Structure 1
Amino acid sequence: MIGDLFEDFLLFFEPNLHAHIDFSKAPDFLQQELFQLVNDKKKGRGVADQIVKVQLKEGREQWILIHVEVQGTDHADFSARMFQYFYRIYDRYREKIIALAIMTSPHESKAPVDFRYQYFGTTLHYAYTNRKLLDYPVEELQQSDKLFSKVVLAAKYLHSTNDKELQRYQFKMKLMREIVRNEKYPRTAVQAVFHFIDYLLKLPKDLEQKLSEVMYPILGEEKKLMELYNKENASPTIANAFEMERVEGKTEGRIEERLRLVQNMLKKDLSLEEIADLAGLSEDEVLAIRNELLQ
């Protein structure tokens, strides 16, 4: 989600920084460089990192490295690793670095928010920006019009509905309906968020099917989104809605075919019994079709 919705991500977590970045120039995600710099520290860690090179709005060419780390559980060496990542990047590129840590745990984190070192007069203090999902109230996220607030809301729903399937279904349905009905959100962004929500808020098959049934008529009104999903891989909820559309289309086609068949046989003066037998209908249904034709 950070990669797909990077501008929305910054607008939500760091609006002041967002205001200084020129997003007419695409951010450059330096994944290969990051892998080489921190690979030896990443084994066995539940951490996702991004280094993103961006351009500022100032007149001359400038760029800034943003180090993003998503941290879900406490580790005693967390702040030390944040410093190590910072120093390795700085030593390699000698560029300005903004370090941002996103804590996703639903519990209060005890991890330090800075790194301090002091030994025989040698002192070091490294601080970084720390954002905790726990600090964002659900009510505030529900009222927010920022797209990434819905991503954060989905993460919070994951924790609050861990063993409550029906509640998760209700939250997921409300969230998806709200997102798809907001015309301000780019349709490609909606597609990405739906994939994320489907991955995060998984439901049993019966509730997933029920959700698709609810979303199907809403998505049917969203021509641009439906066209986009026809071209790209759909999320499970949307894929199920497509299947419903396909089945419904076949059913309507079969009904129209039967109507034409009955109409042709009526023109040939076949008996109601013969027509019903050939068309696989009851005599009352054939009679109803004939009465409609006579009106």
Structure 2
Amino acid sequence: MATPDDDYDTPWKNAVLRYFPEFMAFYFPQAHAAIDWSRPHVFLDQELAQLVRDGELGRRRLDKLVRLATLAGGEQWVLLHLEVQGRRENAFAERIFCYNYRVYDRYRRPVASLVVLADRGACWRPSSFSYKLFGCRMGIDFPVVKLMDYAGRIEPLLDDPNPFALLTAAHLLTRQTKGLAHRRRMAKWRLTKLLYQRQWDRQRIIDLYSVIDWLMRLPPEMEARLWQGIVQMERRKLMPYLTYGERLGRKMGLEQGLREGFMEGRQEGQQLLLSQQLNKRFGPLPAALAERLAQADSEQLTGWAMALLDAASLDEVFGSK
């Protein structure tokens, strides 16, 4: 039985945003040791988007640009390219060079480009770009982490307390079980049980399970079986972490989950779930929309929930009226 197509890039973004210090500690410990974590770090997504629009770089884009302070004093702009090549790209190193220079040209501050390679190959390791002309040399060397290097260390990863060790294991197990749905279900179940065994707060467990769930996609019938096991485990441990509302908050799994939850006929649950998702996406609902939500039937709620998947505003969910 085949597994659904895998998505290796998107889930990492939210995890990095929420747990950036842990990300740096696991993948780039030398840089982590040089950062002053007592001072805030700021993700500059809007500034980054402007930089890319201004440059003639086509679809090239940075994933994250972070402003932070170093223990040596001053500020350092760190460029993290985390979309991180799920596949080989011939011009990748040149692209890192272009990004690095454009950030420096804009801010005139030191820039560090840090790269994680999540592709399947073992030999592709771009870590520099340079050229020479008339005695002039221009170029960049940048640190690279290759996730495939951890492939023989799954068990140590599962014992490591850093959350990105667990996510690295999830990524590798996703690669290893492509097309092997039963093995993937067993691996996903093991990772889920490990989450419950860690002495982490509820939000961290929810966040990390979201990434694991997104990475390790299963056929619907196996997903339902796994979910039944999670519900039973929560009941035994009295630890209701991974609720339907939390699980359905992700776009990739929302449609299937809505069908499963809505088929139970619990209209109040439908209203509560949709209200939570709308509040999280767009902020508190205006009174008029909250009233419409309270009076809607199951069919209306389902339609709005489906519209929420791609909506950029409340108008696109409820209609312009």
Total equivalences in the alignment: 237
- Do residues 192 (structure 1) and 207 (structure 2) align? yes
After TM superposition, list the pairs within 5 Å mapping 1:18-57 onto structure 2: 18-39=32-53, 40-41=56-57, 43=59, 49-57=63-71
Q: Equivalent residue for 1:175? A: 191
1:116 aligns with 2:134: no
SS of aligned partner of 1:74: coil
Q: Give the equivalent residue in structure 2 for 1:66.
A: 78
Counterparts of 2:145 and 2:115, CA distance in 1: 6
Percent identity over the alignment is: 26
Unaligned runs of 5+ in 2: 1-14, 266-321
Q: Give unpaired runs (5+ residues) of structure 1.
A: 248-295
Change (3 A) 1:3 1:30: same
Structure number with the bigger relative contact order (C-alpha 8 A, sep ≥ 6) is: 2
Paired position in structure 2 for 1:214: 229
Q: 2:180 aligns with which of 160, 164, 185?
A: 164
Structure 1 partner of 2:168: 152
Q: Which moved more, 1:164-173 or 1:1-10?
A: 1-10
Query: Is contact 1:106-1:156 (8 Å) kept?
Result: no
Measured in 1, the distance between the counterparts of 2:48 and 2:193 equals 37
Cα distance, 1:232–1:187 mapped onto 2, change above 3 Å: same
Distance across 1 between alignment mates of 2:178 and 2:247: 27
User: In the aligned structure 1, how far is the partner of 2:235 from the partner of 2:39?
Assistant: 34
- 1:76 aligns with 90
Moved more, 133-142 or 20-29: 20-29
**How far apart, CA to CA, are the structure 1 residues paired with 2:66 and 2:236?**
37
Matched with 1:289 is none
TM-score, normalisation: structure 1? 0.71
SS in 1 for 2:121: coil
- 1:221 & 1:12 partners in 2: Cα distance? 33
Match of 1:87 in 2: 101
Contact 1:75/1:111, CA 8 A, preserved across alignment: no
How much does 1:140 deviate? 3.0
Question: What's the counterpart of residue 139 of structure 1?
Answer: 155
1:217 Cα deviation from its structure 2 partner: 3.0
Distance 1:224 1:65 in 2: 40
- Give 3-state SS (helix, strand or coil) of 1:19's partner: helix
Q: Note the C-alpha offset of 1:133.
A: 0.4
What residue in structure 2 maps to residue 3 of structure 1?
Answer: 17
Shift of the alpha carbon at 1:211? Answer: 0.9
Relative to the length of structure 2, the TM-score reads 0.66
RMSD value, Cα: 2.8
Superposed CA offset, 1:240-261 (max 9, x none) = 9x96xx99xxxxxxxxxxxxxx
Is the CA contact 2:131–2:139 (under 8 Å) kept in the aligned structure 1? yes
